[in-house]
Structure 1
Amino acid sequence: MKRIGLRASCLVGFDGMQHVLWRDGEVVFHGSRIEFVGRGYPGSVDQWIDYGNALIGPGFIDLDALGDLDSTVLTLDNGDERDMGRMWSQQYLSEGSRESYSPEEEVFKYRYAFTQLIRNGITTAMPITSMYYREWAETYDEFAAVAGVAAELGLRTYLGPCYMSGMSYWRADGTLAHHWDENRGMAGLEAAEQFFKDFDGSHQDLIRGALLPDRIQTCTPALLQRTAALSRELNAPMRLHCCQGQGEVAMVEQLRGASPLSWLQQLGLLTPRSLLPHGIYTRGDDDLQRLVDGGASLVHCPVVFARDGEALDSFGRYRAKGMNFALGTDTWPADLLDNMRQGLNIARLMEGGNELTSTLDMYNAATLGGAKALGRDDIGRLAPGCKADITVFNLRGLHLGPLFDPLKNLLLAGRGDDCIASYIDGRCVMHDGQVQGVDYTALQRQAQRQFEKLMRSHSDRAFGQPDWKTLFRPAIPFADDYSADAPLSAIDPLL
């Protein structure tokens, strides 16, 4: 193993308590571990790489990482989800749910998404995908293949097949109902347990296991109670989406007689192992105190909610109460810099000023907060003994403007693809913006073909099964009918 040294005009180190900025900084690593952070390394190095005017920093941690060809973006200005076939209709359920992708296409979506995560400076990911276009939930065999893709690309991942015991659907009268299948839910949990035992720590510890039930309203009490017990037995991180919609809150209160967070507390699911996206709709300070007292982490995904005019009440006030925040992308694009920027602006709008939430708060959530949520002190920071998960962001871009503070410049004007190099576990997984071993052109063309297939599947789930092209409105109307029958993939994005 070579001893590698990286240099740049700016470097984010860690002094044991906080991130600190080094000018003309250096980081030296040997194998998977960092040996030195600072300036003037006194030892010998097999290879020095000088990135010039750039920011070397810790890799970002994305705990609601888009692992999909995102279907959420299709809701943008396309009307009510009940009409566009994203969620299940009663008609679809009665005819029998089905897969929209082949098994090979299911695995491909992860290859595409993981490449995008690396491309955006994310070195640790806990992926999320949609269950709406699945026949049910994810499978052991599927995730055995996904683990292989993550290891091949070199992405540090927390994996496990998603499981659930129910699915929401729309009745013909426009009301929301729920379909339950407890046996399927328990079988899914058993598969998740087996995956954890087989894959946790695999591929030189690049792959870790996690318990990933779908959403609080799609899981029965028995499934969640068994999840809580298994999380304790395995010391496994557990992620559960909750408090993300008014309909969810109303449904949980109707079914369980408690707010979502009160219900999770009763089930023993508010612990330091618990990662909870998104926490938008809570029942006041009592709910927040439950989170703090239990030691659970909120995974904040500001962009996906802002698109629908929703936002966390106060990032800064929650943090001041002792809440640990991590960040997630959840939707396209997989750009945590964009989530930091928009998260900062949204927080200040919600808080009516700039005193409660800072630039550094958002950066900490994407690094130190994510590591804490996973119970780790060896990632999310650059310090001797830590994992060599390192990113390099170019500071020479004209769009960044005159450089006055590397982190502020990036959060004000940067984008994920300013990341020009990435090292994970000491392996260079991206150089000069190119993820190693990936043909970007072929990847994008396959994604385009597959996304059209996803769009077509919306017709199956919509009432009356209308022509799929009528479900998606362009931002501006077409001038003629030229495109009416043309597949979207005929518009090659790479030409």
Structure 2
Amino acid sequence: MMSKRETGRTLMTADWVVGHEKGAHVLLPRGEVVFEDGEILFVGHGFPGEVSQRIDYGAALIGPGFIDLDALSDLDTTVLGLDNQPAWQKGRIWPKSYMQAGPREMYTSEELRWQKRYAFTRLIANGITTALPIASLFYREWGETWDEFTGAAEAAADLGLRVYLGPAYRSGNTYVKGAGDIAFHFDEARGLAGLAEARRFCETFENTSDGLVRTMLAPDRIETCTAGLLRETAKVVRELDVPVRLHCCQSAFEYNSVVEMHGISPPQLLDSLGFLSPRAILPHLTYISGANGITHNAPDLDILADSGAALAHCPLVMARGGSSLQSYARYRDRGITIGMGTDTHPPDMIANMQVGLITARLAGDGADVSSADLYTAATLGGARALGRDDLGHLSAGARADMTVIALDDPAMGQIIDPIQTILLNGSGRDVHTVVIDGRIVMRDGEISGVDHSAMREQAQAQFDGMKAQYPDRTFGHPPVDAIFAPSFPIRSAAQ
């Protein structure tokens, strides 16, 4: 059951409040935020009206809720591939034998529905108030299903999370043809059927659950979608006016595969198909012409900037794999809208901002990229990517989506500026309270009706069951302990 909005006017105050002036954030020491019926009425100092309740969070920062354009919504498997490489040898790509036997679902429908709810609690706990869920299709028969996304809509409504939902679909996948030899399999009819189901989902669920549930289209990856599927997706985007998210330019393999299949770069392909528009959200854009070893001669950055498409910047997961944007400032200064995504566990937006700042400076941006840039991307940037001028900031008329980040833990260190301090020493674990659409969905770290310990145990049990299925979907079918070697030799008590 969805929690109720606070009754009457609620005034929140803290040592710091992130206000909003002329399209940009400002800092308000001992500021006040007043909201009622899901809408912010006042941000500033000395509210002159009457209120039903006052909440003083003391040494804390009250800011707009984080917007996660690529929010993990299943059990994360990054840990399986962290040290276990190469991917084709460790079950991260299907072997030909598994393809011939017929791919299967590795989770039950009940487990898939539960995983959405579990993941949504982790998003809220990390201060994410608007989420566009993402899950891996490596563990699926093909695409995502109507049933699990019905469950996702129910979970979001119950927990009070603002979401944009749409089942992922594709027309192809990669598989291991031979040792180190990666090939593609395509079934365009199946992809188009997935698009039709996704369209029906959008038409059914758009703007439901009191406006918390919105919809989007989610074709999987550019290299696993035929030109026909991408063209038809763009047509549906125009007809329904919903966002579309497509993972693009995220690896040299993907970029070069698109060039080999189509003769043009990924941005050129999307442009030729009418796919790019201000409704398009593209994670991760780390591999474009002139970046990360890509030598193809294409005006990729100009194409992306001129289209109005947004970048979903996911620096933590990309850095774990050894890549990053070659220059955050270059994308920003070219006018590309930059929002943030987590795309991994934990969905810690603070950690992503920290890694984003670090990798930008390692890439040579220096002081040209600041803490303010990353915080803006995680709030205003995400709102712009979604075309929502009522999200991502705290000002009168905006939706009451807020995150309270505690500043009183000794680990936070000394504070000269709250944003800089959080990006230096903060963590998602410092998120104290979360308000979404005027509902306090997390209070003092507690989400009503959620037993985090029990959910962790169930998540581990499902994860162990999935891992046990790896041998038949791994090239050469080695045993599980050969696929996933421990960091150090394990010695049991009997040894």
What's the TM-score once normalised by structure 1's chain length? Answer: 0.96
Distance in 2, matches of 1:475 and 1:16, equals: 51
Q: Percent identity?
A: 50
Is 1:237–1:374's contact at 8 Å kept on the other side of the alignment? yes
Conservation of the 8 A alpha-carbon contact between 2:41 and 2:397? yes
2:360 matches 1:338: no
Equivalent pair of 1:300/1:328 in contact (CA under 8 Å): yes
Q: Secondary structure at the match of 1:435?
A: coil
* Alignment partner, residue 221 of structure 2: 215
Q: What RMSD in Å do the two structures reach over aligned CA positions?
A: 1.2
> Take 1:142 and 1:88, find their aligned partners in 2: how far apart are those partners?
23
* In structure 2, C-alpha distance between the alignment counterparts of 1:161 and 1:308, rounded to whole Å: 26
Shift of 1:481: 7.9
CA–CA separation in structure 1 for the residues paired with 2:248 and 2:486: 32
Q: 2:420 aligns with which of 379, 391, 408?
A: 408
Greater Cα shift, 456-465 or 181-190: 456-465
Q: Does 1:78 align with 2:84?
A: yes
Per-residue deviation, 1:184:
1.1
CA deviations 1:155-176 (Å, max 9, x no partner) are 1000000010111111123211
Aligned match of 1:181: 187
How has the CA–CA distance of structure 1 residues 34 and 482 changed in structure 2, closer, same or farther, with 3 Å as cutoff? farther
**Which of 450, 453, 466 does residue 465 from structure 2 map onto?**
453
SS at match of 1:168: strand
Aligned twin of 1:427: 439
Q: CA deviation at 1:429?
A: 0.5
Quote the offset at 1:321 in angstroms: 1.1
Query: What corresponds to 1:418 in structure 2?
Result: 430
Partner of 1:438: 450
Distance of 2:369 and 2:488 partners within structure 1: 37
Is the contact between residue 94 and residue 475 of structure 2 (CA under 8 Å) also seen in structure 1? no
How far has the Cα of 1:269 moved from its partner? 1.3
8 A contact 2:248–2:285 mirrored in 1: yes
How many angstroms apart in 1 are the aligned matches of 2:50 and 2:481? 62
SS at match of 1:55: strand
Q: Any residues of structure 2 matched to 1:13-412 within 5 Å, and which? A: 13-284=19-290, 286-351=299-364, 353-412=365-424
Q: Could you tell me how far 1:72 is from its partner in structure 2?
A: 2.3
Distance 2:28 2:104 in 1: 54
Structure 2 unmatched runs, 5+: 1-6, 291-297
TM-score normalised according to structure 2 size: 0.96
Judging changes above 3 Å, is the alpha-carbon distance between structure 1 residues 29 and 482 closer, same or farther for their aligned structure 2 residues? farther
Deviation, structure 1 residue 465: 2.1
Deviation at 1:16, TM superposition (A): 3.1
Number of corresponding residues: 482
Which of 3, 8, 33 is the aligned partner of 1:2?
A: 8
Q: Structure 1 CA distance, aligned partners of 2:330 and 2:57?
A: 38
- What SS does the corresponding residue of 1:113 show, helix, strand or coil? helix
Give the drift of 1:476.
2.0
Give 1:232 deviation, angstroms.
0.5
**Contact 1:12 1:56 (C-alpha < 8 Å) held by counterparts:** yes
Q: Quick one: distance in 2 between partners of 1:477 and 1:361?
A: 43
- On the 8 A contact 2:250/2:284 being kept in 1, the answer is yes
Judge which range, 125-134 or 306-315, deviates more. 306-315
> Could you give the per-residue CA deviations for residues 274-312 of structure 1, whole angstroms, max 9, x where no partner exists?
000000111147100111100000111111111122111
Distance 1:181 1:54, change over 3 A: same
For 1:7 and 1:26, locate their aligned partners in 2 and report how far apart those are by CA, in whole Å.
5
Tell me which residue corresponds to 2:481: 469
Secondary structure of 1:291's counterpart equals helix
Residue 4 of structure 1, CA deviation: 0.9
Give 1:135 deviation, angstroms.
Answer: 0.6
Report the alpha carbon displacement of residue 457 of structure 1 after superposing the two structures with TM: 2.3
Residues 133, 457 of structure 1: 8 Å contact kept: no
Give the deviation of 1:17 after TM superposition: 1.9
For the 8 Å contact 1:154–1:427, the answer to whether it is kept is yes
CA–CA distance in structure 1, aligned partners of residues 185 and 240 of structure 2: 30
Tell me the residue number matched to 2:4: none
CA distance in 2, matches of 1:167, 1:202: 33
* Structure 2 letter corresponding to 1:254: E
Structure 1: runs of 5 or more not aligned: 484-495
Asked if the contact 1:73–1:332 (Cα under 8 Å) also holds between the matched residues in 2, the reply is no
Structure-2 change in CA distance of 1:142 and 1:482 (3 Å): farther
